Chains A and B, each alone.
Chain A
Amino acid sequence: MTGTTRRHLNILVAEDDEFTREFMEAMLRQRGHEVVMMRDGRQLLEAVVKAEPRFDLLLVDAQMPHVDGMEATRQLRRTLAGSTLPIVCVSARASGRSEAEGREAGVDAYVTKPCWDEQLFAVIRDVLQARGVLTAEEEI
């Protein structure tokens, strides 16, 4: 018997690719999380400012029209609402340079596509625990 409890998160996803957006929504909902889907960084910024209650986690694509994930993160880190928000960048751009750019912009973690959702959730768990959003006894 484990003493863990399941935690349902309020997650904001910004992803421009339609297929990926549909999949992310299905995957997160299958795991029991509340999801708000956005198509680009501009929508993402508006959603964070308006959000009530606050999001537990942002999953952002690096490459998006209008405002990309990196720039959205940079802007969010300068605001009160976004300065401590857990942000995980999920991107098909795979190079040390992209990852370094993400870190510099302020993302908590950079995950490269393709990955299994278990891998993504292992990273999310570490990020949320480090940010104090999730305790060691809580599962997601």
Chain B
Amino acid sequence: MVLRNSSSGGVLLDLNLAKALREPGLVASLCDASQEPLALCYGPEHVLLHANLGLQSLLGQRLAPGRPFKSAAPGLSNGRLHAALDRVFGSGVTEHIELFGGVSLWVAPWPADAGDPSGVVLAAGKAVGGDREQALARREAELARREAELAAREARLGAPAAVSPLETQVLGTVSYELRSALHVLMGYGSLLRRELGAHASTRAGGFLERILGVTGVLGQRVDDLIDLELIGQGSFQLDRKPVAFGQVLEQAAVRVRDRARRKGVQFEVVLPARLPMLLADEGKLGSALDKLLDNAVKFTAAGGLVTLRASAEAEHVACQVGDTGVGIPAGQLLTIFDAFNGAARAGGGLGLGLVLGRAYVEAHGGELCLDSQVGLGTVCSIALPLSPPRSA
């Protein structure tokens, strides 16, 4: 199937993501952020909650929110469309209909896993060629299979073996004390900064900013310890929202670029023009990328190369952080994912980058793998599913 106004069937990907979101506000944010024509209708009257500009321009209609779809789109008096809305709301089964001028419209129950749908999501595209309905059915079945697989894997995940119960308890106590002390340090730093006022640009002010900078780094380390503790307890949670994956990658690249330059390591970013939206925790996803990029720069000597690449596949997005650094001996490839591992700490820090990076990726239902050769370098690959697990 080829959709003229989208790449890689983006319409269906965003439709599927919209179905999985339980909050109407999140669907509205997705509609606004998506480049695909999308809308959400609520209740048996199909009251239009939100329709993005893409849909309005494709239908050539201004769609007035807050009214039943029939009166919200008076120019669209298409009996088949209204009947389809009723059927999907009643049956919970996605339908596909052809409108005028080659416009294809998908009507899907919302939210996806509700017994009785609360509403329907609409997605439109201009389709050409192929047997669209069969392709849609195949795709739906494949996505459902993938979702079930992810839900099963999430259920299996529980507390990872990387942290023992005793370590979790110790981490809890230590991180509590560290957080309290850090709070006081950061607090007095701020007080001092305000007291300095106009003298902030003196040498003393410069020293203070250094102290506050290091305090910030220490704060990040403590946050890492706390996440490790929560993961160990099995109570780590993501804050998922619709996120533009391309933007998360670009921002991570910006954050590491300067460090690579200072070390004399070349940094290359190869991203496709368009990457899909994900239902993800932007902070944790960004942190996972930061940790992998930090590691790559840390273990690569001056003159070496670090690369960040990404691609969109049928059901997942893939991203690779590659380096021409020291590489990891085969014998250490398994233990490198243990917390406080000596090899991972060789470059400084707590050695939690890979442990947490992998935990954040797996919490999203994704996978992280390492491929490394001593003396040649390492490639760390991440795959993240486009469709979120049911428990999200």
Contacts and interface: CB of A to CB of B under 8 A. Distances in A.
Interface in B151-195: 175-177, 179-188, 190-191, 194-195
B190 A19 contact: no
A94 B183 contact: no
Contact of A114 (B186, B194, B230, B233): B186
Interface stretch (A6-14, A22-30, A44-52): A22-30
Most chain A CB within 10 A, of B180, B195, B226, is at: B180
B222 interface: yes
Contacts of B219: 114
Nearest to A93: B176
A19 B195 CA distance: 19
A1 interface: no
Given A93-B176, A96-B237, A23 B184 contact: yes
A93 B183 CA distance: 12
B144 to A, nearest CB: 30
A17 B183 CA distance: 12
B183 A20 contact: yes
Nearest to A24: B187
Interface string B335-355: 000000000000000000000
Contacts of A115: 183, 186
B239 to A, nearest CB: 10
Nearest to A97: B235
Contact of B180 (A20, A30, A95): A20
Contacts of B226: 94-95
Contact of A113 (B182, B188, B194): B182
A97 B234 CA distance: 12
Interface residues of A, number: 22
B194 A30 contact: yes
A138 interface: no
A113 B235 contact: no
Contacts of A30: 191, 194-195
Most chain A CB within 10 A, of B183, B185, B237, is at: B183
A27 B191 contact: yes
Interface in B185-226: 185-188, 190-191, 194-195, 219, 222, 226
A124 to B, nearest CB: 15
B370 to A, nearest CB: 30
Contacts of B195: 30
Contacts of B180: 17, 19-20, 92, 113
A126 interface: no
A117 interface: yes
Contact of A117 (B175, B187, B237): B187
Contacts of A113: 179-180, 182-183
A63 B180 CA distance: 11
B175 A94 contact: yes
A115 B216 CA distance: 10
Contact of B176 (A92, A96, A97): A92
Given A19-B184, A114-B219, A117-B187, A92 B194 contact: no
A63 B177 CA distance: 12
B331 to A, nearest CB: 36
A95 B195 CA distance: 34
Contacts of A93: 176
A81 to B, nearest CB: 29
Contacts of A26: 188, 191
Interface in A83-140: 92-97, 112-118
Contacts of A114: 179, 182-183, 185-186, 219, 222
A19 B177 CA distance: 12
A23 B179 contact: no
B184 A20 contact: yes
B301 to A, nearest CB: 35
A116 B186 CA distance: 6
Contacts of B184: 19-20, 23
Contact of B179 (A92, A96, A97, A118): A92
Given A23-B184, A114-B222, A94 B179 contact: yes
Contacts of B235: 95-97
B269 to A, nearest CB: 31
The 4 closest A-B pairs by CB, nearest first: A113-B183, A92-B179, A114-B183, A114-B182
Interface of A: 17, 19-20, 23-24, 26-27, 30, 63, 92-97, 112-118
18 contacts: A17-B180, A19-B184, A23-B187, A23-B188, A26-B191, A27-B191, A94-B226, A95-B226, A96-B235, A112-B179, A113-B179, A113-B180, A114-B182, A114-B185, A114-B186, A114-B219, A115-B183, A118-B190
Given A20-B180, A27-B190, 10 more contacts: A17-B180, A19-B180, A19-B181, A23-B183, A23-B187, A26-B188, A30-B194, A92-B180, A113-B183, A118-B190
